[in-house]
Amino acid sequence: MNTKNKAALAFSAPLLLCANAAAAEQGFTWEGEIEIGNEQVVSSDVPANEIRNTYAIITATGTYTFGNGMAIFSTLTGESVTDPTADRTFDDLGLYVEELGFSFGIGESTTVAIGKLHPVFGSAWDDTAGFFGGTLAEDYELTEQLGILADVELNGAGTLSFGLFFADDTSLSRSWGTDRGRNRSNTGGAGNTGKLDSFAIQWNHEVDNTRFHIGARHLSASVGDVDDEQGFVAGLGHSFDAGLDVFAEVASFSNFGGTADDATFVTLNAAYAMGDWTLSGTLSQRDLDSSGKTDLHSIALEREFSNGMVLGGALALQDDGGVKDTIVGLNLIIPLGG
């Protein structure tokens, strides 16, 4: 299982960060976070699954904004760059460039970014509360892509985000410390072509306390792939005055990852804020043709302190093709910069 996604900051929505930077005064700004956590399968039908991963994730984004609204930005991330296969404590740590780019505005409504970026497609990893809220949805998150992205404000009718890209196959795909290896475009995987022949488009809008989005993507087949991947996503969320926030997202794919698999992901999340505390729950499912259904249900409790730190814990029950795991997650998030 993947460790908890890096939340709270706008790193998975680089164009939003760029747009904010473009509107800011000239100069350098930075922000980041340190996450220290522990994820452990405490019981499983398969004893080999019962492993502990004590980890740290350090992320920092720096932006230099020029007086003419142009900006350069970069995100560096340090974390374990391999999946755990046995109990480990802060092992296999590597530092890599998650984002690196240049942004500029066109008129008052459009922001363009060029470089190594995160195309917009879905938002469950950001919009869900709790340690395990976006765990399954992370499978379709688009990260570390080389290309051109744009955000267009639609005059009160939301934001249209789109881009052309391919998976980073330069030396920036490696990591320092533990080297995760360089990605090569001849190793396969949808979108890993070395050409600007993949695209994503998404419309986001918010009306009063309701937010929604709908998007599509095409990832071109690489060497050895069965066919191009086609994907669609839709999400809906609402914040109630009493402190309750609900969110749902559905994503569907043909030839997921360039394979023969069709795939469907469903995420349902609810969070209730009680002062400094937030109680949340998640029902999520991943359905792949080849491996069947994975159901992950979780409940989480988090507390935010006055200094911005967040302490959280969660319990998850996962059924992966009939193999049942009980998983516990604990983490502390420390904000930096700002």
Q: 24: pLDDT confidence band, cut at 50, 70 and 90?
A: low
Percent of the chain with pLDDT over 70: 93
- SS3 assignment, position 225: coil
Residue 306 CB: number of other CB atoms within 10 A?
6
d(CA 212, CA 249): 9
Percent of the chain with pLDDT over 90: 90
User: What is the pLDDT of the chain when averaged over all its residues?
Assistant: 93
d(CA 304, CA 274): 11
Q: If phi over 0 gives left and psi between -120 and 50 gives alpha, with beta otherwise, what is residue 153? A: beta
Could you read off the pLDDT of 227-276 as tens digits, one per residue?
Answer: 999 999 999 999 999 999 999 999 999 999 999 999 999 999 999 999 99
Give the pair of three-digit tokens for residue 208: 């009063």
Contact 255, 227 (CB under 8 A): yes
Taking the domain 10-337, which CATH number applies? 2.40.160.10
The pLDDT score that the predictor gives to residue 7 is: 37
Length reported for the chain: 338
Could you read off the pLDDT of 306-316 as tens digits, one per residue?
Answer: 999 999 999 99
Residue 137 CB: number of other CB atoms within 10 A?
27
d(CA 332, CA 34): 8
The pLDDT score that the predictor gives to residue 67 is: 79
d(CA 224, CA 20): 41
Is the pTM higher than 0.85?
Answer: yes
Could you read off the pLDDT of 196-211 as tens digits, one per residue?
Answer: 999 999 999 999 999 9
d(CA 8, CA 22): 21
Q: What is the mean pLDDT of residues 47-76?
A: 95
